[in-house]
Structure formats: structure tokens, C-alpha cells
Chain A
Amino acid sequence: MTDLTLAVALPLLAAFVRPLFNAGALRWLGQLIGPVVLALVTVILFAHWSTFSEPFAIALGGFAPPLGIAFYVDRMALLFALAVPLVTLLLWPGDDGADGARRQSLTLLLAASLTGLALSGDLFNLYVFYELAAVASYGLVAGNGSSAGYVAAFRYLMISALGSVVGLLGIGLVYFKTGTLNLAELATLGNELADPQGLAAFAMLAIGFGVKAEMFPVNGWVPEVYGAASRRVAALLAGLASKLAVLVIVRILLLMFPSDEARQLLLVLGILGVVSGELAAYQARDMARMLGWSSIGQLGIVFIAFSLPGEAGLVAGVAAALHHLVVKSALFVLAGPWGGAIDRLRGAATVSALGAGLFVLFALSLLGLPPLPGFWSKFLVIGGLADAGTALHYLGMAAVLTGTVIEGAYLLRVITTLYAPPAGSPAPPRQRGSDLLTAGLFGIALLAAAVMIDPLWQTLDALAVSGVDTAAYQQTVLAAQEAHP
């Protein structure tokens, strides 16, 4: 089953090959490399997904886990890995100008590293892929060449670099305490990390990986970057990259720190994220920033969901994360032509009825209007909180519910602006066909999910059962160790 490594290796390779075909007779080949590779990876991953029966481990190059690079493949990893090439393909940047090649190869780099994040079974590898993803995203953010882009990228760089230092410190602490960085081995040593030092290590890891996951309080880069970067990049970062970072934190939480304190920490940070993000979005007057803040709030909900113990938490978290992945990516795509001041959009529905309709659809799902999928993800999150039933969980419930009200206030402001009579000149901005197509595909996915909500839930449930089964994880990885002595 080594072909899974191709899912990481191929895009990585393509990223370095892509600039070679930037000009000349083979230019068309350059254009094709990215989409073809991503499609191929999607097919590979999908083949695995459809034939998946048991979790398995891969030791790269035949080096056994304590030393070598280990992949660990279960349903959850596959699901997120599958999302990477698929969404990247949907948000694939067109080659419009000199920067096209660079942007495409950076995007491929990002895709490779994100897939790596999903599949890695080793703390150090996770860190490496994470840094790789960070580097790719700095480039993408600064890539549009505007001064705002550079400023935003620098801001992002500062936070991310500092976060990485803290994260590395956490990794160091873990290694110092246990002598290993393999997640499977760490999972067997659960007790060794169940002390204040271990908790501190978790906190540091959470902060380190939390930067990309838009976790409070290390998300100061979000509005600037999403406001300045091209919308497709923003969609990639907000929709996709943040989810993979969340996945890493969840993995760490489940395998290494199954303690109440760690969950509590995640819950508190999630609550603060929901509250601060939604509040700031309420005051936003700029579309992209508003979506950025809203995304902070939504990720807060994801954190709250994952902080819930047991399968219920995992199902809720994955559901919330996937829903946000689809909806926020689509909204950022729509915000392409509709970026900038919201007031500019007066009457935009008259020139782009389909775009406005899609915006309403995604907004309604975000607000949790049944029977759209957003409702069910909210249903699962709040249901889990009500079940857990401590004061802190009720606080979380209040935060999520209140956050939705705030969200309703600002999203409806946008919607009423879209449908208001046009102000005259300048004419309201029109949506581009390519963006409408992308957003439309996301919309179809959303509606399909609404129709197939029960099978989806059953899949997620099965996924969660294997996800929380840390024993299986250990056995599989350590069995792989036996197989490659």
C-alpha cells in the first residue's frame, strides 16, 4: 500500500517541476501539471477510501517507527487527506500573468504538505509538514504583489514563526519526558504525560499548531491576511489549511493527552474564539475581513466540538470542520469580485442573481437553517455540550448559540445589501463565471450533503469509532514496527 506515499510525493515533485515549464513550447504542459497531479492524487486517495477496511501504518523507506517516517492511515486521516487535493483542485489558481507559475507551484507545495499533515504518525514529521505548509502560504499571501499583501504576509510570518518556536518547545518537552516522538508510542505512554509538564507541553503544541488553525489568541493574522490575499488563497487557508491544523491538534489531544484538563483548555480557547471572532465580524465593514473573523468564530465551534469526550465529540468536530470547509471556501470564492467594502455591494443581486442566491444558501447553512447541513453540525455540537453538562460546557453552549445570533445579524446585513436597489453609479460588481462555477460546485456539494445527511452521519460515526480507538492505533503502528525489523 505504499502508493499512498504518492499522495504526498507527487504534488511535492510537481511543485518543483512546475517552474521548469513556465515558458516556451511546453507551457501548456506546465498548465496541466497541477490539475493532473491533483486529480491523480484524488483518485489514489479515493481508491483507498472506498476499499478501506482496517487502519494500517506505513513506514517510509522501510525504517521502523521509532527512527523512520511513519504514516498512519485511518478513516479520519483519509477523509481529510482526500479533502486536500479535491478542494485544492476546486480552488486551483488560474495562470493569469507572470506570477501564475509561482502561485501554482506554491499551491502544489501547500497541498503536498497538508496531505502530509493528515497522514503523518510522527510528531516531528508533523512539525516539518506544518512548517512546509506555512512557507507555502507565506508565499501565496505575499504572491499578489500588493503592499498590503506583503504587510499581511509579514504579520503572518511573525506570528507563525513565534508559534513554531513555542510548538517546537512543546515537542522538545515531550521528547525530553518520553524519549520518543512517534504518536503510537506516545499513546502507550499516556500516563507519563498526564502531569503538569505534559499539560504544558500540550498547551505549547496547541499554540504552535493553533496559529494555522486560527486558534484564539494566536489568530491576529487572520483578518489582515484574508483581507489582503487573493480570495482563492484565502479560501484555501481558511477552508482547508485550518482544518488540517485542527486535525493535528485533535490527533495530539486524542493520542497523547486524553486528560480532562487538556480538553478544558481546548474548550476555553474555543469559547474565546467564538466570542471574539463573531464579535469582531459584527463590526466588520469589509467583506473578506468579515468572512475571516467569522471563520475564527466557526473554528472556535470546531474546537469546542473536539473538546467533547468520546465519539460524540469527534463526530461533531469532524462535521463542523467539514461543513466549514465547504461553506467558507465557497464564501471566499464569492468574495473574489465582491471583496472590499460591503456597502459597495448594493444591488449586486440584480447583476449576479446566481451569486447572490449562492451567498444566501451558504449564509443560511452557516446559520444552521434546517435541513441544511450546517444545522446538523450545530445540532451535534450543542447536543454534545448539553450531554456533557458541566458549567463550562453550558457556557460553551451559550457561546455557540449567541455566536449564531451575532452571525445572523452581520450576514443578514450583507444579504439585505445585496438585494437592496442599486445605488446607481458605480455599478455593483458582477461575479465572474469561473468563480460562480466553483461556488456552484460547493453549493451542489452542500445540497447533496443535505439530502444524504444520514448516510454521511453514519460514515462519520464509523470514522469516529476508529478515531477514538487509540488502542487500534498503537497496535497497528507497532505491528508495522514488527513487520520491518
Chain B
Amino acid sequence: MTGSLDFLLLLSVVGVPLAALLAPSVVGRWLLVLLYVVQLVELALLGSGDGARSAVSFSLLGHSVGWQLDALGWFFAMITVAAAGFSAAYAAGEWGTLNARAGLSLRWLYVGLQVNVFAMLVLLAAGDMVALFIGWELTSWAGLLLMLLAGGEAIAAARRYIVYAIAGGMMVLGGLLMTLAAAGSLQFDAVAAAIPTVGTSALWAITLLFVLGFSVKMATMPFHLWQAPAYAFSPAPASAFLGAISARMGLFAIALVAIKLIGIVQLDRLYLYFDALNLRNLLAWVAVFTAILPTFVAMKQNDARLLLGWHGVGQGGYMLLGLVMADSLGSAGGLLHVFNHATYQAILLMAVFAVIHRTGTADLNRLGGLVARMPLSFLAMLIGIIGLAGLPPMNGFVSKWMIYRALILEGQPLLFVATVISTLGTVLSVYKLLHNTFLGQLRLEHETVKEAPWSMTIPMLVLCVVVFVTGVAPGLVLEYVAAAQQALGLAPVAFILGGIDSPAGTLDMIWVTAILLAGFGIGAVLFYLMGGRSRRVHQLDNYAGGHFLTADVRYQYSDNFYAGLMHRIRPWYRGSFAWAEEALVSTFGAIATAARGFFEQANPAHWVLVGTTLITTWVMWHALV
């Protein structure tokens, strides 16, 4: 039995009314989870790489519009549907029931989720550029649906998002139609064939419009401001879904257009100052700054959701960096990171929302010591942060390793150093997240907190298994990454089950993990079998600075966690981008007020005469010239 793309899209469309129908009841929500399973199976049956084509195609305005899922789209589609399924499961049980009681519309939530999946499938399976744009816009607006649900501060974030998203969409539309003017067609083949003949300035315009437009969704700098709040303040499953995959649609589109259609060689053709500053290097640097600055912004956040949101922005930088390296290792690393990030980011957000579910807050200064109360959530977050920080043996390490290696082999030491700086910042930041939530002093009011219900912990823990298994055996995913690379026209990466096999340095995670676990075993033997017996004291039985500490004295070290570091680098947080955004908005507001003033003056009739005079002058000037 093989799958059919049409059936998949049909399933996904039918899912929308089904979601509206079934979402209010618990059983219905589990049925919806089942629907995602069915979609995932259907997608898996389609298989990667053989280019399943939809039988439905339209001729619209002289353009043939159709859908075809290649290995690249399939890779992203699998992640998308799976992320939606896990998010749906997370909210299916107690979370949904309690939040519905608190006024959240589960109907809209599940409809929003399914609409997002459908929109993304339309984008990922695009068979030509018109279909690509249709999918792109649908995805942008579908995301808005999820962001608006929570109300309150989410509304402001969503409004900001949509302005950015429309701006991005319009840039893409501009690029699309300039491509049409240059190539005469919007079919992928025709565009790819025509690009080498396009003049440099037109190519600059086309490439920049596409890349900038798409990178708005990626939230690469300087468009990075909207994402963290927009994703963070959505309801839990929406946040997990958006954080896991939504922004990566931008990466998909950049890969498709900049690498497959325009071609990396053409990017080298575009340079500002000799070859040193060509567009590809420029993009690499933009990617690196996107990896660094948002990470350090994340470090300063006091809301766990925002902290993770900013890391999401930062990790996008890695993916873009790997991709624009465009060698087999780097691009594979970038693509693999999409999968890895989706898995651990979903875990982290789910863990944070589990804490919110039980304690009602994500404020990192109002939590602490929950490890004994919510051990499973702690475990999930621990595995998640190891993944996010990119330490072995979790999957985040593998993709980052590939990117580092590509940078070194491509002779880009500065980029390499910069990415490691970002990783170090991530390590600091995620420890703060873990410490302030689960470690340190337990607050009195949290003494009776219970572990999150199984409907929430199971999705997290299953994802933890995925993070670990794909960390130990990245070859499982790299197989599909290699197929996606081929679909992009890049050289596929040489992978083995345990990682990468290359003469300039191998990575075999099976060995590394085995050794690490063996090391832990030895450590455990040394600790538990040797020496005196240790005696456990109660979590609240503490002593510091010469005093017994009681639980009602707050002494958790949480605020300004990296005080020494901040003492040094705080002056570097200039908020320049936020300032620039604000300045832009207020300048714009002033101009808009002036425009409004034009229409509201007392005697607009004068403008008939002014206009006539001006135009007559223009005519006379024409006559003279």
C-alpha cells in the first residue's frame, strides 16, 4: 500500500471541521490525536524522495499550479505533523479540560492546529512558485490564529507578528513577480533555468526580496523581535507546536528558493565588495548574529516561556548557517537541526507549561525546588536542555557538531568561534532555566504540588526517548536528511548509523554514548558501592551562612542569576533593535498623522487648484525639456 498526496491533503482538510466538532470532549480530542497519527502514517507511506505528485492542479491566470512533495518537503512535513500530534495529545486530557473551564476555546485551538498543519502541507508540497506563495501566506495567517487564542498580552504580540509577517509576505510577492518578469514562468524548472541569465542587479533584487521575506518567519536578524513573545504567550500546545516547527517554514522556503532554484553559486555572484563580502557570506554572518544575540537576550529573561522563545530564534541561526555553508556536512547539519530543535524545543515548552499547569506561573523568580514534586517534568526538561545546549549524548549535539565541523573545514574559524559563543550562552541560559524552576529552594506554596497528569507527561517522555535515540543513532534521521539534500541538488552527507564518517574526523555517537554510560556506571559504582552510607535529609532541611534555614525564608538565588557576567556585558544590551523598531513605528505614526492632517484640513478644495497648478507646471516643464 502506498500513500497518496491527495489523500493526505484531503485528510488534513477534513480534519478542520472534525476538529471543530470533536475538540470539546476528551474522547474527541484523543480521536483528533488519532487523526494526526493517521496523517503521519499516510505521510510515511508516501515515502521520502520519490516526489509524490498531487492529481489536483489548477490553471490560474495562465500559471499551472500544482503540488508535489519531494524529499525536502517530506522531511519538514513529517516533523510538522508529528509536532502537531504531540501537541494535540498534550492538551487532550486534563490540560484541555481545565483550560476550557478557564475560558479557552478548545474548538479554536484544535481547529487552529489543524489549519496550521494543512497550510504547512500546502507550502511544503508546493510544486511551483504560485503554490509556494499560496502556502506561505496561508501558513502566516494560520499561525496568527493560534497566537490570538490566549488573549491579553498575546494579542499585542500577535499584532506585531502579523505586521512583520505581511511585510515578509509582500517582499516575497515582490520577489515572486520580479522572477516572473525575468523568467517568464513560475514553474520551478523554468525559473532555475532562467536564473543564470538574469542580470546582476535584478538577481540582487530577487534574491534579497525572497531571502528577507522568508527570513521574517525565521526571525533572523533584524526581524527577530516579534517571535519570542508571539510564540511564548500562545496556549501550551500552540506554543509547543509553533516553537517546534512554525518558524522553520522560513528555512524550508529559503532552502528551496535560494539553494535549489537560485543556486548557491549564484549567491556567490552577488558581492558587495569583491568576493570577500558576497551574499552568501553576508547571510552566514546574519545567521551567526542571529545565533548569538537572541541567545544572550534569552539569558536575561525571567519568564521561562520567553526564555525558550528567544532560544528558538537563536537556534534558527544555526540552521541557516549550516544551510548557507551548502557543503554536504553543513547543510545536513542545518537540516538535521530542524528535526532536533523541533523535538527538544517541544519537550522544553511542554515541561514549562506543565509547571504552569501545576503552579500557575512561569516566572523564574517565583519557582524553584520542584524537582522532588515533579520529577518526570524535571527529567524531560533536563533532557531537553541537554539537547538545546548541544551536549552529548542528545541529538542537538550531533547537528551542532556537523555545523562546527563544516565551518572548520570550510576555513571559517571566526564563524566557528561565534557559533561556539552562542552555544556557551545557551548552556548558561538553560541552566538558569532548570535551576530556577526545578532546583534550589522549594517555595512553601508549592509543597503540595503534584506531578503533571500522564496525558501531559507521556508526550514529553516519548519525545525524550526520541531526543536520546536520535542522539545516539543520528543515522536514523540523516538518511532522510541526505535525501532532502539530494532534492536540493546538494551533495548528500556520508553518514553511518552512529553519525558521520569522514576522513577529516569521524563522529560515532554509539561509541560516545556507550562510553559515557559506562563512565556513569563506573561513577555510580564508585559512589554507591564504596564509602560510607549517605543519609538523605528532607528537601527543606537546609543550612547556610551559619543559620538553619526554614522554608518560609526566601533565599532562592534566582534573580539576575549571572550577576558577575551581567556586570560586564549589561552595557552591551543596548536594545538597539527594539529602539529602532520603536523609532520606526513612531516616525511612521508622525508621517501618518501628517497624512491624516492633509485630509482633515478645513478647505481641501484648495487642493484642486494646487493640484492643477502643480500639474500644469509639470506639463510646462515637460514642454521646455
Interface residues, chain A, with chain B CB atoms under 8 Å away = 155, 158-159, 162-163, 166, 195-196, 199-200, 203-204, 207, 211, 217-223, 261, 265, 275-277, 279-280, 282-284, 293, 364, 367-371, 375-376, 378-380, 382-383, 385-387, 389, 397-398, 401-402, 404-406, 408-409, 412-413, 416, 419-421, 453-454, 457
- Say yes or no: A370 contacts B608, CB within 8 Å: no
- Say yes or no: A203 contacts B163, CB within 8 Å: no
Give the chain B neighbours of A284 by CB distance below 8 A: 596
- Say yes or no: A457 contacts B61, CB within 8 Å: yes
Tell me whether A220 and B159 are in contact in the complex, defined as CB-CB below 8 angstroms, given that A207-B608, A279-B596, A283-B596 are known contacts.
Answer: no
Tell me whether A376 and B61 are in contact in the complex, defined as CB-CB below 8 angstroms, given that A158-B605, A283-B589, A370-B133 are known contacts.
Answer: yes
- Say yes or no: A420 contacts B619, CB within 8 Å: no
Surface stretch bound by A, among B230-238, B436-444, B484-492, B609-617 = B609-617
Give the chain B neighbours of A280 by CB distance below 8 A: 592, 595-596, 598-599
One of B61, B141, B596, B616 near A380 (C-beta < 8 A): B61
- Say yes or no: B162 contacts A408, CB within 8 Å: yes
Cβ proximity bits B170-213 to A, threshold 8 Å, 1 near / 0 not: 11011001101100000000000000000000000000000000
Give the complex CA separation of A382 and B159 in angstroms. Answer: 25
Tell me whether A283 and B138 are in contact in the complex, defined as CB-CB below 8 angstroms, given that A162-B609, A389-B181, A405-B163 are known contacts.
Answer: no
Give the complex CA separation of A106 and B62 in angstroms. Answer: 43
- Say yes or no: B607 contacts A218, CB within 8 Å: yes
- Say yes or no: B180 contacts A383, CB within 8 Å: yes
Give the chain A neighbours of B61 by CB distance below 8 A: 376, 379-380, 453-454, 457
- Say yes or no: A159 contacts B605, CB within 8 Å: yes
The A-contacting residues of B in range 340-366, CB under 8 angstroms, are none
- Say yes or no: B173 contacts A378, CB within 8 Å: yes
CB distance from B177 to the nearest CB of A (A): 4
Give the complex CA separation of A200 and B617 in angstroms. Answer: 9
Give the complex CA separation of A162 and B141 in angstroms. Answer: 45
CB distance from A218 to the nearest CB of B (A): 5
CB distance from A310 to the nearest CB of B (A): 14
Give the chain A neighbours of B180 by CB distance below 8 A: 383, 386-387
- Say yes or no: B608 contacts A218, CB within 8 Å: yes
Complex: chain A residue closest to B603, CB-CB: A158
Give the complex CA separation of A385 and B604 in angstroms. Answer: 31
Tell me whether A404 and B166 are in contact in the complex, defined as CB-CB below 8 angstroms, given that A159-B605, A280-B596 are known contacts.
Answer: yes
CB distance from A192 to the nearest CB of B (A): 15
Give the chain B neighbours of A380 by CB distance below 8 A: 61
Give the chain B neighbours of A166 by CB distance below 8 A: 608, 612
A selection of 23 A-B contacts at a CB cut-off of 8 Å is A159-B607, A196-B623, A200-B616, A203-B618, A204-B612, A207-B611, A220-B607, A265-B615, A277-B595, A280-B596, A282-B589, A368-B173, A369-B137, A369-B138, A379-B61, A386-B178, A386-B181, A387-B180, A398-B174, A409-B163, A413-B159, A416-B148, A416-B159
One of A387, A401, A416 near B170 (C-beta < 8 A): A401
The answer to whether B60 has its CB under 8 Å from any CB of chain A is: yes
- Say yes or no: B618 contacts A265, CB within 8 Å: yes
Interface of B is mostly: helix
- Say yes or no: A453 contacts B60, CB within 8 Å: yes
Tell me whether A405 and B167 are in contact in the complex, defined as CB-CB below 8 angstroms, given that A279-B595, A375-B137 are known contacts.
Answer: yes
CB-CB nearest 4 A-B residue pairs: A220-B604, A196-B623, A279-B595, A408-B166
Give the chain B neighbours of A277 by CB distance below 8 A: 595
Interface of A is mostly: helix
Give the complex CA separation of A419 and B596 in angstroms. Answer: 27
Give the complex CA separation of A401 and B594 in angstroms. Answer: 21
Tell me whether A155 and B608 are in contact in the complex, defined as CB-CB below 8 angstroms, given that A276-B598, A405-B170 are known contacts.
Answer: no
Give the complex CA separation of A159 and B611 in angstroms. Answer: 12
- Say yes or no: B615 contacts A416, CB within 8 Å: no
Cβ proximity bits B141-161 to A, threshold 8 Å, 1 near / 0 not: 100000010010001001100
Give the chain A neighbours of B166 by CB distance below 8 A: 367, 404-405, 408-409
Give the complex CA separation of A419 and B603 in angstroms. Answer: 38
Give the chain A neighbours of B2 by CB distance below 8 A: none
The answer to whether B535 has its CB under 8 Å from any CB of chain A is: no
Tell me whether A412 and B608 are in contact in the complex, defined as CB-CB below 8 angstroms, given that A383-B181, A405-B167, A419-B148 are known contacts.
Answer: no
Give the complex CA separation of A204 and B134 in angstroms. Answer: 42
CB distance from B296 to the nearest CB of A (A): 29
Give the complex CA separation of A166 and B170 in angstroms. Answer: 38
Give the complex CA separation of A452 and B608 in angstroms. Answer: 41
- Say yes or no: A282 contacts B592, CB within 8 Å: yes
Give the chain B neighbours of A159 by CB distance below 8 A: 604-605, 607-608
- Say yes or no: A223 contacts B600, CB within 8 Å: yes
Complex: chain A residue closest to B604, CB-CB: A220
Give the complex CA separation of A371 and B135 in angstroms. Answer: 10
Give the complex CA separation of A364 and B170 in angstroms. Answer: 14
Tell me whether A416 and B155 are in contact in the complex, defined as CB-CB below 8 angstroms, given that A158-B605, A382-B177 are known contacts.
Answer: yes
Give the complex CA separation of A200 and B618 in angstroms. Answer: 9
Give the complex CA separation of A375 and B599 in angstroms. Answer: 28
Give the chain A neighbours of B573 by CB distance below 8 A: none
CB distance from A243 to the nearest CB of B (A): 21
Tell me whether A409 and B604 are in contact in the complex, defined as CB-CB below 8 angstroms, given that A383-B180, A383-B181 are known contacts.
Answer: no
Give the complex CA separation of A402 and B592 in angstroms. Answer: 13
One of B173, B605, B622 near A261 (C-beta < 8 A): B622
Give the complex CA separation of A166 and B557 in angstroms. Answer: 77
The answer to whether B448 has its CB under 8 Å from any CB of chain A is: no
One of A163, A275, A387, A389 near B595 (C-beta < 8 A): A275
The A-contacting residues of B in range 49-102, CB under 8 angstroms, are 58-62
Cβ proximity bits B32-59 to A, threshold 8 Å, 1 near / 0 not: 0000000000000000000000000011
The answer to whether B591 has its CB under 8 Å from any CB of chain A is: yes
Give the complex CA separation of A163 and B606 in angstroms. Answer: 10
Give the complex CA separation of A284 and B595 in angstroms. Answer: 11
The answer to whether B563 has its CB under 8 Å from any CB of chain A is: no
B178, B600, B612: which has the most chain A beta carbons within 10 Å? B612
- Say yes or no: A409 contacts B138, CB within 8 Å: no
One of A200, A211, A364 near B608 (C-beta < 8 A): A211
The A-contacting residues of B in range 558-605, CB under 8 angstroms, are 588-589, 591-596, 598-601, 603-605
The answer to whether B620 has its CB under 8 Å from any CB of chain A is: yes
- Say yes or no: A196 contacts B622, CB within 8 Å: yes
Complex: chain A residue closest to B610, CB-CB: A217
Give the chain A neighbours of B598 by CB distance below 8 A: 217, 220, 276, 280
CB distance from A454 to the nearest CB of B (A): 5
CB distance from A424 to the nearest CB of B (A): 16
Give the complex CA separation of A420 and B61 in angstroms. Answer: 38
- Say yes or no: B162 contacts A412, CB within 8 Å: yes
Give the complex CA separation of A222 and B595 in angstroms. Answer: 13
- Say yes or no: B59 contacts A454, CB within 8 Å: yes
- Say yes or no: A369 contacts B181, CB within 8 Å: no
Give the chain A neighbours of B163 by CB distance below 8 A: 405, 408-409, 412
